[in-house]
C-alpha cells in the first residue's frame, strides 16, 4: 500500500475514513505500507523543513479517529471495525512510524542532490533538528557536525549560519549528558558571537540562548537556566510579545526551573500562562505542549490539586501511546505519573492495576531500571494501603536488595516498623537493614531521603504522616504541619475530621532509643549507649525536646531508685 502525501503537511487521505480503513487493513494484515510525495510537493516539503518544528507540527495534526466520510454510516462501520479488531492508537502508530522514517529518509537522500555546500549544510541541520525533537541526540549530533563542517567550508567559521549550527551541535551534545566542558564553551562562544554580530534580539541569538538555557536545565543547573531564561523572556516580550509561541516556550522553561527548584506554586503560575498559547499555536499533542502539561500536572500534584492533575496526566498517556508507542520510555514515564496521581487521588484499585501493568512491562527493561524502582516504590505503597503487608514487604526488599542505599534502606525500615509482627520475614529484614544502616557512612543521618509534600524540601528530624492516608505517600516536616496545616490537609482524600498525624524518628536515632529501653543488657552497656546517643544528638543538633531523657531509660533510672 502506498499513501500519497498531498499536501505533505496535512494529507487529505488521512482526513477520509475510507483511506483510514485502508491503513487499518495494512495494520491488521501486516502489509507493506509506504509513503510517496505528490509530484508538486517535494519543493514545498524541503522548503518547509527549514522551519523548525514543522515536522512535529505536522505529526501533531494526525488523528485517524477524526477522519470523516460522505456517508455517516460508512464512517460508523469502519470505526466499529477498527475498535473491534485493533485500535485507533495502532493505526496512528503505523502512520507516525512510517511518516517519521519516510521524512528522515527523504530529507537525507536529498542532501546529495543539493546544489551547494551551504544547501547541503542546511539540510543536514534540518535533519539534526528532527532527530533532536525525537530525542535521538546521538543522531542529531552526527547531522549537526556535518552541518557545522559544511557551513565552515562555505561560509567561514564566524558566519551566523556556522555559529547557529554550532549552537545546535552543543545542544545535541548536552542532551546526551556528556561532560559540561564538551558543550558549554561552544554555547558561550556561539552566543557571544551571534549577539555581537546580529544583536541579542535576533532570532538566531534568541534560539541559541533558549537552547543554552534548556541544556543547563537538562544537566541539573536549574538556577543558571532560570537566570538565562529570565533574560531571554525580557528580550522576547519586546520582540514578539507575551502571546507569541516562542515567548510561551520560555514561560514554560521558567516554570520548569521553578518546579525543579521546589517552588511548585510559582511553577504552576508560569506553566499555566504558557499552556493556552502553546495549545493555540501547536495543538494539544505537540511535544512542546505536552512538556508543559507534564510539569503543570506535576505542580498540581505536589500542591494537592489532584483533581486538576488527573485529567492532564490522562491526556499525556493517551497522546504518548498514540504518538510514541506504548513501550517508549517517555510513555512509560507518563504512565508512571498517571498511576502516582491516581494513587494520590485515592483511587487505590485503579492505581494498583496501573502499577502492576507497569511492573510487568519494566521488569525486563534494564534500560529503565530507575523507573522500575519508582514503580516498585509506589506499588509497595498501594499494597501497604490495602493491608497486603507480605506483598508490600517483598517490593521493598526487592528495591533494597537491587540497590542498597539510604533511600531503599529507610523505606524498608519505615514499612517494617509499621507492619504487623506477623509480616513475612519482618524481623530478619529489620535486622539486616539495621546492620546496613549502622555500618554505612551517612553524613546526614537526621535528614530523610525524601521531601516534605508541602514545602518540597528534604525532611530533617521527625517525619509526619497522616494515619488515614496510604502510608509513605504523603510525608510532612514538623515545620509545615505547624505553619501550613491547611496545605497538608489538601492531600487527604478522606474526611478531614478524621485526620491524625503519626511521627517517625530518623532510623539511626530510633535504633539508639530502642536499645536504650531494652532490659536485656547491663547498666554499664546501657550507660555507654546513652553516652553515644548524647554524642550523636549533639553532633546532629537534635532538639532537646526530641531527645530521650536519661530518666526515661529503665535500667539507668532503676539503678538509682531508693527502693532497689
Local confidence band at 363 (pLDDT 50, 70, 90 cut-offs):
confident
Cα 40 to Cα 37, 290, 312, distances in angstroms? 8, 33, 40
pLDDT by residue (tens digit) across 394-405? Answer: 999 999 999 999
What are 466's strand-pairing partners? Answer: 501
Q: What average pLDDT does range 98-115 have in this prediction?
A: 83
Evaluate whether 459 touches 452 at the Cβ level (below 8 Å): yes
Percentage of the chain exceeding pLDDT 70: 91
Could you report the per-residue pLDDT of 306-359, keeping only the tens digit for each?
999 999 999 999 988 887 788 888 889 999 999 999 999 989 999 999 999 999
CA separation, residue 17 to residues 39, 91, 99, 355, 518 (Å) = 24, 12, 19, 35, 76
Q: What is the pTM of this model?
A: 0.79
pLDDT score, position 16: 79
Q: What angle do CA 74, 78, 80 make, to 5 degrees?
A: 115
Of the two residues 167 and 46, the one the predictor is more confident about is: 167
pLDDT at 381: 94
Q: Are 529 and 448 in contact (CB under 8 A)?
A: no
What's the pLDDT score for residue 422?
93
Write the DSSP symbol of residue 6. Answer: S
Number of H helices, E strands in the chain: 26, 7
pLDDT at res. 521: 74
Residue 54: pLDDT over 80: no
Pair 523, 506: CB distance under 8 Å? no
Residue 5: strand, helix, or coil: strand
* Tens digits of residue pLDDT in 408-437: 999 999 999 999 999 999 999 999 999 999
Across residues 149-160, what is the average pLDDT?
96
Name the grid cell of 356.
Answer: 502492576
- Max avg pLDDT among 14-18, 37-41, 158-162: 158-162
Banded pLDDT at 53 (limits 50, 70, 90)? low
pLDDT for 469: 85
Report the C-alpha gap between 113 and 64 in whole angstroms.
Answer: 34
Residue 192: pLDDT above 90? yes
Whether 560 shows a pLDDT value over 60: the answer reads: no
Mean pLDDT for 532-556 is 87
Over residues 213-253, the pLDDT tens digits come to 999 999 999 999 999 999 999 999 999 999 999 999 999 99
Q: Name all contacts of 533-536 with Cβ < 8 Å and 24+ positions apart.
A: 533/509, 536/445, 536/508, 536/509, 536/512
Measure CA 465 to chain center: 25
Are 453 and 487 spatial neighbours (Cβ–Cβ below 8 Å)?
A: no
Amino acid at each position: 500500500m502506498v499513501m500519497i502525501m498531498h499536501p505533505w503537511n496535512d494529507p487529505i487521505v488521512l482526513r477520509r475514513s475510507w483511506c483510514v480503513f485502508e491503513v487499518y487493513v495494512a495494520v491488521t494484515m501486516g502489509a507493506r505500507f509506504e509513503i510517496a510525495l505528490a509530484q508538486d510537493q517535494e519543493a514545498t516539503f524541503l522548503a518547509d523543513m527549514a522551519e523548525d518544528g514543522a515536522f512535529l507540527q505536522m505529526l501533531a495534526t494526525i488523528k485517524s479517529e477524526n477522519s470523516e466520510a460522505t456517508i455517516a454510516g460508512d464512517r460508523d462501520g469502519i470505526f466499529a471495525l477498527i475498535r473491534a479488531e485493533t485500535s485507533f492508537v495502532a493505526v496512528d502508530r503505523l502512520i507516525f512510524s512510517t511518516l517519521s522514517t519516510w521524512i528522515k529518509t527523504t530529507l537525507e537522500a536529498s542532501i546529495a542532490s543539493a546544489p551547494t555546500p551551504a544547501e547541503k549544510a542546511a539540510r543536514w541541520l534540518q535533519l539534526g533538528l528532527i532527530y533532536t525533537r525525537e530525542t535521538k541526540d546521538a543522531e542529531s549530533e552526527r547531522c549537526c557536525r556535518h552541518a557545522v563542517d559544511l557551513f565552515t567550508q562555505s561560509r567561514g567559521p564566524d558566519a551566523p549560519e556556522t555559529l547557529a549550527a554550532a549552537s545546535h551541535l552543543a545542544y545535541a551534545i548536552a542532551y546526551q549528558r556528556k561532560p559540561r566542558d564538551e558543550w558549554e564553551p561552544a554555547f558561550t562562544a556561539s552566543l557571544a558571537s551571534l549577539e555581537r554580530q546580529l544583536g541579542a534580539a535576533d532570532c538566531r541569538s534568541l534560539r541559541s540562548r533558549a537552547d543554552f538555557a534548556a541544556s543547563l536545565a537538562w544537566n541539573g543547573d536549574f538556577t543558571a537556566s532560570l537566570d538565562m531564561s529570565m533574560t531571554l523572556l525580557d528580550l522576547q516580550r519586546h520582540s514578539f510579545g507575551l502571546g507569541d509561541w516562542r515567548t510561551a516556550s520560555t514561560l514554560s522553561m521558567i516554570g520548569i526551573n521553578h518546579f525543579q527548584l521546589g517552588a511548585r506554586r510559582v511553577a504552576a503560575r508560569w506553566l499555566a500562562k504558557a499552556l493556552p498559547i502553546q495549545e493555540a499555536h501547536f495543538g494539544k499533542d505537540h511535544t512542546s505542549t505536552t512538556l508543559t502539561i507534564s510539569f503543570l500536572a506535576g505542580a498540581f500534584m505536589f500542591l494537592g490539586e489532584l483533581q486538576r492533575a488527573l485529567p492532564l496526566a490522562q491526556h499525556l498517556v493517551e497522546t504518548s501511546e498514540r504518538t510514541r508507542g506504548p513501550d517508549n520510555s517517555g510513555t512509560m514515564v507518563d504512565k508512571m505519573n498517571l498511576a502516582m496521581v491516581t494513587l494520590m487521588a485515592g483511587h487505590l484499585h485503579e492505581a494498583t492495576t496501573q502499577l502492576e501493568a507497569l511492573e510487568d512491562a519494566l521488569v525486563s527493561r534494564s534500560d529503565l531500571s530507575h523507573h522500575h524502582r519508582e514503580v516498585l516504590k509506589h506499588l509497595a505503597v498501594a499494597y501497604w494501603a490495602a493491608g497486603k503487608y507480605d506483598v508490600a514487604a517483598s517490593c521493598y526488599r526487592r528495591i533494597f536488595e537491587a540497590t542498597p542505599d539510604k533511600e531503599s534502606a529507610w523505606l524498608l525500615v519505615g514499612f517494617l516498623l509499621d507492619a504487623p509482627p506477623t509480616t513475612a520475614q519482618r524481623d530478619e529484614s529489620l535486622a539486616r537493614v539495621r546492620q546496613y544502616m549502622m555500618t554505612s557512612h551517612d553524613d546526614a543521618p537526621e535528614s530523610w531521603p525524601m521531601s516534605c509534600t508541602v514545602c518540597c524540601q528534604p525532611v530533617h528530624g521527625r517525619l509526619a504522616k497522616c494515619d488515614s492516608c496510604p502510608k509513605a505517600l504523603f510525608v510532612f516536616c514538623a515545620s509545615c504541619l505547624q505553619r501550613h496545616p491547611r496545605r497538608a490537609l489538601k492531600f487527604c482524600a478522606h474526611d478531614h475530621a478524621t485526620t491524625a498525624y503519626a511521627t517517625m524518628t530518623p532510623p539511626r536515632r530510633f535504633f539508639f532509643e530502642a536499645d536504650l529501653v531494652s532490659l536485656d543488657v547491663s547498666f554499664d552497656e546501657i550507660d555507654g549507649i546513652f553516652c553515644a546517643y548524647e554524642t550523636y544528638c549533639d553532633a546532629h543538633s537534635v532538639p532537646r525536646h526530641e531527645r530521650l531523657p536519661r530518666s526515661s531509660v529503665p535500667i539507668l533510672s532503676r539503678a538509682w531508685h531508693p527502693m532497689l
